[in-house]
């Protein structure tokens, strides 16, 4: 498998963009209980207590807001809360609910103690968001019927439910919506050891032979993200079947991921284009995100949500008041010569 064949469109990176047929694959690998969940120990411990307390009181769990980069387990945790409570998970997303009537249909069909999961909650239209306020606080919604002097409000009671909302951009949530959540948890990137446990479990479910060294190689290149390690496992097990003897060894994983364009630090083609633009076109920065996006012909929001968080996490990029700057580690990783120390850049280049 050549690198060209693996990436017919450089804007679509296999390690991060799921094909439609992979949705069932991801669901198959998701943990179904807190016991099976790996990582995010503080969030899981807190949610476990909240769920147990709610069960003892025979109430629904308080509303939960989960935020952090994509692929870290927000949807999975929503499903686990529903499973642990013995209720149903009703999933939707902010962009999918365009009108208040659509939200009303969802809310009125929830059973008692069901878990409503809204992904990308920061993209809810404002009129829809305002309908959520009384639903979250009082388990009721208010209709305004008639108009003018004859207008009156009709209150419709809902069954008690738990709203679990997920967002990659918590700063875009309005204060009134944010304050109605009782539980907040930030999900951070996973360690290599945690990802090794996750991919080992996934390989066992898929009945795919995986050596410990192969699991560690997959974990190192997965950007600290469980969704990515599972997708890379799918690519590598195919490579092992065709180019090897079916077992994912360290050498097979190394060769397969190199052919996919995923390097030893988990950077893919989009990451390297991003860093190359900062280093080669803007002399290491500072440069604004919009300028970088225009240079590499990509979307600034995509770079902000899918590229920057990991590069910031591993110290390849820093944000300054004037824009983004590449660090010495980024230059070294790409095999480029860092510039001489310049005023105001002591923390970046030495």
Catalytic residues: 74-75, 119, 168, 227
Helix (H, G, I), strand (E, B) or coil at 258: helix
Reported as type and span, the H/E element at residue 145 is: strand 140-145
| Residues pairing with 155 in the sheet | 142
What number of helices (H) and strands (E) belong to the chain? 17, 9
Q: Which residues on neighbouring strands pair with residue 320, listed in sequence order?
A: 323
Report the DSSP pairing between strands 140-145 and 152-157: antiparallel
- Residue 86 near residue 96, CB atoms below 8 Å: no
Structure tokens at 128: 């829809």
- Given phi > 0 = left and psi -120 to 50 = alpha, else beta, which region is 86? left
Q: Report d(CA 57, CA 88) in Å as an integer.
A: 19
Number of neighbouring beta carbons within 10 Å of residue 143? 12
Among the listed residues 331, 189, 334, the one whose alpha carbon sits nearest the alpha carbon of residue 267 = 334
Cα first-last separation, the chain: 40
């Amino acid at each position: 498998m050549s690198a060209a064949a693996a990436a017919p469109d450089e804007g679509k990176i296999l390690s991060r963009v799921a094909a439609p047929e992979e949705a069932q694959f991801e669901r198959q690998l998701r943990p179904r209980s807190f016991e099976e969940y790996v990582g995010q120990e503080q969030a899981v411990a807190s949610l476990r207590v909240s769920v147990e307390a709610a069960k003892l009181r025979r109430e629904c769990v308080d509303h939960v807001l989960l935020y952090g980069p994509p692929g870290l387990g927000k949807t999975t945790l929503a499903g686990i809360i529903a499973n642990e409570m013995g209720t149903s998970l009703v999933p939707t997303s902010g962009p999918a609910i365009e009108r208040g009537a659509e939200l009303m249909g969802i809310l009125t069909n929830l059973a008692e103690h069901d878990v409503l999961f809204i992904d990308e909650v920061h993209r809810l239209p404002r009129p829809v968001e305002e309908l959520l306020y009384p639903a979250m606080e009082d388990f009721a919604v208010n209709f305004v019927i008639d108009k003018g002097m004859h207008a009156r409000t009709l209150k419709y009671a809902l069954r008690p439910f738990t709203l679990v909302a997920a967002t990659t951009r918590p700063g875009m949530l309005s204060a009134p919506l944010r304050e109605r959540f009782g539980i907040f948890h930030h999900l951070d990137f996973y360690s290599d050891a945690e990802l090794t446990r996750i991919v080992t479990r996934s390989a066992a479910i898929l009945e795919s032979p995986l050596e410990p060294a192969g699991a560690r190689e997959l974990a190192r290149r997965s950007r600290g993200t469980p969704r990515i390690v599972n997708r890379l496992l799918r690519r590598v097990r195919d490579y092992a079947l065709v180019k090897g003897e079916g077992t994912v060894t360290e050498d097979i994983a190394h060769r397969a991921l190199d052919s996919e364009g995923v390097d030893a630090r988990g950077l893919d083609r989009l990451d390297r284009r991003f860093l190359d633009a900062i280093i080669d076109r803007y002399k290491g920065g500072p440069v604004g995100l919009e300028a970088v996006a225009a240079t590499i012909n990509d979307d600034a929001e995509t770079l902000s949500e899918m590229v920057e968080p990991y590069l910031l996490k591993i110290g390849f990029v820093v944000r300054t008041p004037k824009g983004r700057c590449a660090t010495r580690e980024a230059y070294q990783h790409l095999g480029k010569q860092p510039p001489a120390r310049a005023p105001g850049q002591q923390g970046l280049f030495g």
